[in-house]
Structure 1
Amino acid sequence: MNIVMLGLNHKTAPVEVREALAVSGSDMTAALTRLRALPISEGVLLSTCNRSEVYAVVDDPAGVDGALVDYFLGLALALHGRELTREQLLPYLYRRHGLEAVQHLFRVAAGLDSMIIGETQILGQVRNAHRDAVQAQTVGKVMHQLFHQAITVGKRAQTETRIGQSAVSVSYAAVELARKVFRSLEGRRCLAIGAGETAKLTLRHLLSAGVREPIVANRTLDRAESLVREIGGRAIPLDKVPEALSEVDVVISSTGAPGYVVTRQQVEEAVRARRGRPIFLFDIAVPRDIDPAVAQVAGAYLYDIDDLEAVISANLAERAQEARKVERIIAGELERFRQWAASLAVVPTIRMLREKIDAIREQELARTFNRLPDLTDHQREVIAAMTVTLINKILNDPTQQLKGMAGEGSASQAIETVHRLFDLQRHRAEPAVENGSAP
């Protein structure tokens, strides 16, 4: 019994191929139903906008690859009407086997394999993939353990390191910089100039940080009103920006205008109207929306795209440093999983040993009770319970020793010895997870 993973992601496949294999929530049940038809004993499908991966427990690692490739081809056709050939798909696929598959999932859950290192959304997607597989009844003992530990890795990466705590997008960097300036954005007001995706994302970050009643200005008022309906606030035409400047503490500008949308004179007038209260302006447009001379106005603080990129570069370097800490967490959890998987090899022997000794216990209890017919039911229960406790205590040390030896990779001889000493039926148990590629 082995763990195998086959899949593709943003590093190996273009977006049109990833789209062909993407499985939305409404299609997940059908996709997992198809998974049950494969020659696997357990399986989980992890599908996001950036990756599609199948994790499976199989008896024959070498013989399952073709079935998994056909599975992906079937999904593309059934869910998206995309008729891909094996030759078209194979160059984009990667395969992991044994502990390499386990390590890969741990890195995915920790955000180390993401487009942006340390992003936290993937952990929820790993959790959902396991939940969906549980509901579809495609998981068993091994996949439960694997995904529970992967989720633990992701949680530890977030709580024990700073891998996901520094801003690595322009919009989020602007918000984080504003938060540092004001210490808290709770109750602050902001103006977004522009109503595109960057403005929307930045406003969402600001609202989650406590900003209230955002103002959205756009050359096309309909677009500003559409964004306001989605997130709240007030929409104004672009020519009302000079008046709005005096009302807000933070300005985020991200239009595609050819000239300056905010001038030095407008900011000077806004600062006078604010009576000494500072205003912070973030120009994340290229070409720039805000006249660079605004930086010379007392009480106005201007940051442009280069300032934000410098923050992002420093934060990416910090994430790379934190990634090394995450790798150490993964190494420890990987060893813990290896020991757990190796211990499965001795489970059949432990079970047979317990079954044989319990059968002997039952026989001897029956003989004893026959010789002592005057015992009450309570006395019989006490004696029976005592024999169970006795057996558990006797078998505890050998059981733990066998599991420990399995974790060290030296259980084969001990298993053979136990079978001979107790005359157990021979049962050859293969290791649960091999290290490396399939033979």
Structure 2
Amino acid sequence: MLIIAVGVNHRTAPVEIRERLSFSEHSLGMSLSRLNSYPAIEGCIILSTCNRTEIYAATRKLDEGLNAIWDFLSQKSGVDISEIKNFTYAHTLYDTIRHLFRVAAGLDSMILGETQILGQVRHAYQLACQYGATNRVLNTLFQQAITVGKRVRTETGIDQNAVSISYVAVELAKQQFRDLSGRSVLVIGAGKMSELTARHLVANGVTGVIVSNRSYPRAVELAAQFNGRAVKFDHLYQHIEEADIIISCTAASHYVVHLSEMKEAVARRGGRELMIIDIAVPRDVEPAVGDLPGVTLYDIDDLQQVVDHNLEERKKAAVIAEGIIEEELDKFMQWLSMQFVIPTIAALKKWGEEIKQKELRRALNRLGNISEHDRKVVSSLANSIVNQLLHVPVAQLKAYALTPEGHLYMKVLQNLFKLELPGEQSRNGKEPAQGSLATGQ
């Protein structure tokens, strides 16, 4: 059984192509069924996220399996198959396994070490199982990939250092206040960055959200997302004393938070800490505001320095992660190689057992009426001879299975002994090719 993958991501295709190749969850069952109907496909799993679509499949013939996936994607998207090939990447065998392990570990993501992808890999696998689309090899592969993803994050801490401006803002707030539970944030500006930062703060315990924007309806709209409240931009300074954190990100070409007004607002706070994160370019907050007592001010450069430092830390962790992946890859390849030769070993042992039984019956008939003890001695002798004769070829085949030439030794053994592998029917009712791994569920 061979493992292949065809995919498209943010590095290989523009968003308009990725959109046409993406899969909604409600259509996944039918899509998996259609892909499995191709004769070359023995099982499949579809991983579809905002930045990537990848199809993992088990097949017995590499070229036919890859062509089946490309044809399926072309039929699904309406994009010509030649164009599909231009925008997609294909992995086979060893490279497929390494790629999936790297994906699950967050090493192939737009943001190095991001955590969301591991849950997406798990969900894709669970859905494929739910629709009966997988087989034994894919089951083991994805279970191992999920384990690898967890191990990388546990042992390297690759996801512990924030590498986006909005996440860094949250981390700085957590460092200053230790616990964000019950804290309040005043959001100045209602753009995407303000929304994202507010969302992360709320996810980390902030309960009070106040939004102020020059367009009051937009402020109302954003505040509603967090069960917060909107305030008129002209009344901004009246609400400074209510907030523990201020996030400012407007499109203004000048300062919108001035020192003179902030002096009065800070005085009304009675010495309570105030953290201001100015992520606008040009800056929204007059720099001298950071000198006021109890006020800590960060601008975009401060945050970017933290991002750069954390990214370097993630890159160091990624080096360790690659070593873990190679280690886990070797383990999986050993398992897969063993599965590859199991049918041949089983056929060889069956061949030996049939000869033993035939000759044992003939010998016992010729010996006539002998004691039960003598029968056991003769049977034990026959067992011992067959087991010893087969021990070396079986052990050698297992050893060679771990080498690139393993399949050649297996084929030679099949031909030398004229072995007939069991015609086991797979999950799809497809006949496994002789000498291949019997892994149908």
Q: Normalising TM by the smaller chain, what interval?
A: 0.7 to 0.9
Structure 2 residue 431 is matched with structure 1 residue 425: no
Cα deviations across residues 175-195 of structure 1 (Å, max 9, x unaligned)?
Answer: 111111222222222111122
Equivalent residue runs for 1:14-29 within 5 Å: 14-29=14-29
Query: Aligned to 2:309, which of 311, 314, 321?
Result: 314
SS in 1 for 2:119: helix
Cα distance, 1:350 vs structure 2:
3.9
**After the TM superposition, which of the residue ranges 168-177 and 128-137 deviates more from structure 2?**
128-137
1:358 Cα deviation (Å)?
8.0
Map of 1:86 onto structure 2:
81
Counterpart in the other structure of 2:173: 178
1:3 matched to 2:3? The reply is: yes
Gapped regions of structure 1 (runs ≥ 5): 78-83, 372-386, 434-439
Which letter does structure 1 place at the counterpart of 2:12? T
- Cα distance in 2 between the residues matched to 1:75 and 1:47: 14
SS at match of 2:139: helix
Structure 1 residue 238, shift from structure 2 partner = 1.3
Matched residue SS, 1:113: coil
Identity of aligned residues (%): 42
Counterparts of 1:16 and 1:325, CA distance in 2? 35
State the secondary structure of the residue aligned to 1:407.
Answer: coil
CA shift, 1:412, in A, is: 7.1
Residue aligning to 2:199? 204
- After superposition, the Cα gap between the structure-2 partners of 1:415 and 1:329, relative to the gap in structure 1 and judged at 3 Å, is same
Q: Which amino acid aligns with 1:46?
A: L
Residue type of the alignment partner of 1:202: T
Contact kept? 2:45, 2:57, Cα under 8 Å: yes
Deviation by residue 1:198-231 (Cα, 9 ceiling, x = unmatched):
1221112111222121211122222222222222
Q: Return the match for 2:263 from 258, 268, 275.
A: 268
In the other structure, the counterpart of 2:13 is: 13
Amino acid in structure 1 at the alignment position of 2:180: L
Indicate the SS of the match to 1:349: helix
Is residue 76 of structure 1 aligned with residue 67 of structure 2? no
Residue 258 of structure 1 and its aligned partner are, at CA, apart by 2.8
Residue by residue, what CA displacement relative to the aligned partner does 1:94-138 show, whole Å, maximum 9, x if unpaired? 111110111111111111111111111111111121112112222
Q: Give the structure-1-normalised TM-score.
A: 0.83
Tell me which amino acid in the other structure corresponds to 2:291: Q
In the TM superposition, what whole-angstrom CA distance separates every residue of 1:125-182 from its partner, at most 9, and x where no partner exists? 1112111211222210111111111111111122111211111111111111111122
Spell out the pairing of 1:95-114 with structure 2 (5 A cutoff): 95-114=90-109
Following superposition, which runs of at least 4 residues in structure 1 exceed 4 angstroms of deviation? 353-364, 397-405, 408-421, 430-433
Contact 1:118 1:319 in 2 (8 A): yes
In structure 2, what is the equivalent of residue 62 of structure 1? 63
Query: What is the root-mean-square deviation in Å for CA atoms of aligned residues?
Result: 3.1
- What is residue 45 of structure 1 aligned with on the other side? 46
What's the TM-score, normalizing by structure 2? Answer: 0.82
1:294 positional shift: 0.9
Measured at CA, do residues 277 and 164 of structure 1 come closer, stay the same or move farther in structure 2, by a change above 3 Å? same
Secondary structure, counterpart of 1:171 in structure 2: helix
Cα pair 1:353 1:424 within 8 Å, conserved: no
Task: Give how far 1:86 is off.
Answer: 2.8
Q: How far apart are 1:402 and its partner, in Å?
A: 5.7
The verdict on how the C-alpha distance between 1:359 and 1:87 changes in structure 2, with shifts beyond 3 A counting, is closer
User: Aligned match of 1:158 in 153, 158, 163?
Assistant: 153
Q: Say which is worse superposed, 403-412 or 3-12, in terms of deviation.
A: 403-412
Q: In the TM superposition, what is the alpha-carbon distance from 1:317 to its structure 2 partner?
A: 0.7
Partner residue, 1:328: 323
Find the counterpart in structure 2 of residue 381 from structure 1: none
The answer as to whether partners of 1:246 and 1:274 remain within 8 angstroms in 2 is yes
Aligned-partner residue type, residue 60 of structure 1: K
Residue 302 of structure 1 corresponds to which residue in structure 2?
A: 297
CA contact (8 A) 1:352 1:424 kept: no
Are 1:253 and 1:289, in contact at CA under 8 Å, matched by a contact in 2? yes
**Partner residue in 2 for 1:148:** 143
Please identify, of 135-144 and 58-67, the stretch whose mean Cα deviation from structure 2 is larger. 58-67
> Alignment partner of 2:91: what SS?
strand
**Greater mean alpha carbon deviation, residues 336-345 or residues 185-194:** 185-194
Give 1:220's aligned amino acid.
S
Shift of 1:89: 2.7
Structure 2 counterpart of 1:5, one-letter code: A
Distance 1:413 1:227, change over 3 A: closer
C-alpha distance in 1 between matches for 2:273 and 2:415 = 84
User: Secondary structure of the equivalent of 1:251?
Assistant: strand
Residue among 336, 344, 348 paired with 2:343:
348
Number of residue equivalences: 403
Distance 1:425 1:65, change over 3 A: closer
Kept after mapping to 2: 8 A contact 1:2/1:432:
no
Per the alignment, do residues 348 and 88 of structure 1 end up closer, same or farther by CA in structure 2, a change over 3 Å counting? closer
1:248 to 243, 266, 271: 243
Q: Per the alignment, in what secondary structure is the counterpart of residue 290 of structure 1?
A: coil
Rounded to whole Å, the distance in 1 between the matches of 2:16 and 2:224 is: 32
Quote the offset at 1:305 in angstroms.
0.6
User: What is the alpha-carbon distance in structure 2 between the residues aligned to residue 219 and residue 186 of structure 1?
Assistant: 29
| Counterpart for residue 407 of structure 1 | 402
Give the C-alpha shift of residue 46 in structure 1: 1.4
Q: Matched residues in 2 for 1:412 and 1:97: separation?
A: 16
Amino acid at match of 1:101: T
